[in-house]
Amino acid sequence: MTGRLGVLDSMTWYRASISDIPKFAPLGGDIDVDVAVIGAGFTGLSAAIDLARGGKEVVVLEGGPVGWGASGRTGGQICTGYSPGMEKFIRVLGQEGAQQAFDIAEEAKRLIVERSETYGFDCDIRWGYLICANKPSQMPHLEEYLQELESFGYTGCRLIPKEQLEAEYLGTTVYHGASFDPGAGHLHPLKYVLGLAQAAEKEGAFVHEHTPVEHFEDGTVITLHTSRGRVRCRQLVLATNAYIDGLHPPIARRIMPVASYIIATEPLGEERARELIRHDEAVADANFVVDYFRLSSDHRLLFGGRCSYSGWHPKDLAGYMRPRMLRVFPQLEDVQIDFAWGGHIGITYNRLPDAGITGRHGNIRHAQGYSGQGVALAGMMGRLIAGDILGTDDRFELFTRIPHMPFPGGILARPAHTLGMLYYRLKDLIG
């Protein structure tokens, strides 16, 4: 990555809001396990929980602190379905396979609740999701989106006209209506990922942070090399998503890290905060390059968006994002920005999740490229990976059937891909 990277390491409101963050010791020497997991995010930790419950000896290795990557920095929005819609699934998997994929995405939302209730941690789950039309021409598309959801058996959503949206939901006049989804919502992602890490340890898995894997040797027994020791395992789970870098080039080429940014205002007080989002829903707009926002538990506005495909990051992130927030909520002109941070989303070329089995002996599994939908999907993919290794669930195979092409030229193609995204940004403005 080039450009200014400091914003991707900056303090998040999530981390600042937790007074006692649990620590997980670095690896302390050479070990042998059944399964090694690289990446202590939603995918890796969810896999580790089920693998350990299934009797496997499991270690999870994380290069930074647990939750340092996308899982602990994301906007925290729990979405329904998949970012490109279901038509691509139908073309690739047929109607039956597409229905199964949609049902898995619904199970993914239930899994979040299951994990938090089973292991007794609170992650501030709230339900309700608005997708708002920036222009009148987007309302028919939102109607088609709700019709597609109904065709897959998902009911209860509705369209909200502009007048009702302004009177009953949002304290802004910029939108021309919205769709409302009562079964999607938002959470505190760092509380969730830390809860998963503690749950994995309760089940007997070993979780080691500050232990980056430098490289690994493929084989019937795979050897992972770190500066703190070696790990030998018979099965490897790559749960790095956008942070895979050059660790495993065959799958690294099929994903692109895209930076997204979030700002958090000072506390607004409950009354002023609810004047912005009256029922505490998660909100996103209907553009291809979305803005998204929600309230925090301490009554801040968390406002995100402005994806960067180029690898360049703004020096003054708060100044870069603030005009986007004020376009929606000009009444916040007097409000201070307390936190500004960024993180990488992993996207695939077709925006469908990339899951598969690699390695000379078929003992390396991965899941990545959730393309903005990972809060729910990532944990579920971890469960499917675990089920595949344990032989208790064959649904992982469904996602391995989805073909994925690499980004042509890898990092060298970033400027060309950025031009392609510029087309969609212009379309958001005028189309």
Is the confidence at residue 428, as pLDDT, over 50? no
Look at residue 171 in the predicted model and tell me its pLDDT.
98
Do 74 and 375 touch, CB atoms closer than 8 A?
A: yes
- Rounded CA-CA distance 334/68 in Å is 31
Per-residue pLDDT, averaged over 130-141, amounts to 97
Residue whose structure tokens are 């290069």? 63
Closest CA to 165 of 175, 155, 156, 157: 175
- Rounded CA-CA distance 406/37 in Å is 23
Q: What's the mean per-residue pLDDT of the chain?
A: 92
Q: What is the pLDDT of residues 299-335, one digit of tens each?
A: 999 999 977 766 667 889 999 999 999 999 999 999 9
Q: What is the pLDDT of residues 252-299, one digit of tens each?
A: 999 999 999 999 999 999 999 999 999 999 999 999 889 999 999 999
Per-residue pLDDT, averaged over 167-178, amounts to 98
- Rounded CA-CA distance 256/343 in Å is 13
Q: Which two tokens stand for residue 95?
A: 């109607």
The strand pairing partners of 132, in sequence order, are: 178, 285
- Rounded CA-CA distance 163/14 in Å is 34
Is the confidence at residue 4, as pLDDT, over 80? no
Per-residue pLDDT, averaged over 373-399, amounts to 98
Strand locations in 239-383 (E): 256-265, 282-285, 292-295, 301-308, 337-347, 354-358, 364-368
- Helix, strand or coil, per DSSP, at residue 170: strand
**pTM of structure:** 0.93
Q: Which two tokens stand for residue 225?
A: 């090399």
Q: Output the CA torsion sign for 246, 198, 391, 346.
A: negative
Closest CA to 130 of 263, 283, 27: 283
6-423 has which fold?
FAD/NAD(P)-binding domain (3.50.50)
- Rounded CA-CA distance 278/169 in Å is 5
Look at residue 412 in the predicted model and tell me its pLDDT.
47
Residue whose structure tokens are 């939302």? 109
Look at residue 9 in the predicted model and tell me its pLDDT.
64
- Rounded CA-CA distance 269/394 in Å is 48
Q: What share of the chain in percent tops pLDDT 90?
A: 87
The strand pairing partners of 78, in sequence order, are: 185
- Rounded CA-CA distance 353/374 in Å is 9
Do 179 and 139 touch, CB atoms closer than 8 A?
A: no
Per-residue pLDDT, averaged over 155-172, amounts to 98
Is the confidence at residue 115, as pLDDT, over 90? yes
Confidence of residue 43 (pLDDT cuts 50, 70, 90): very high
Q: What is the pLDDT of residues 57-80, one digit of tens each?
A: 999 999 999 999 999 999 999 999
- Helix, strand or coil, per DSSP, at residue 105: helix
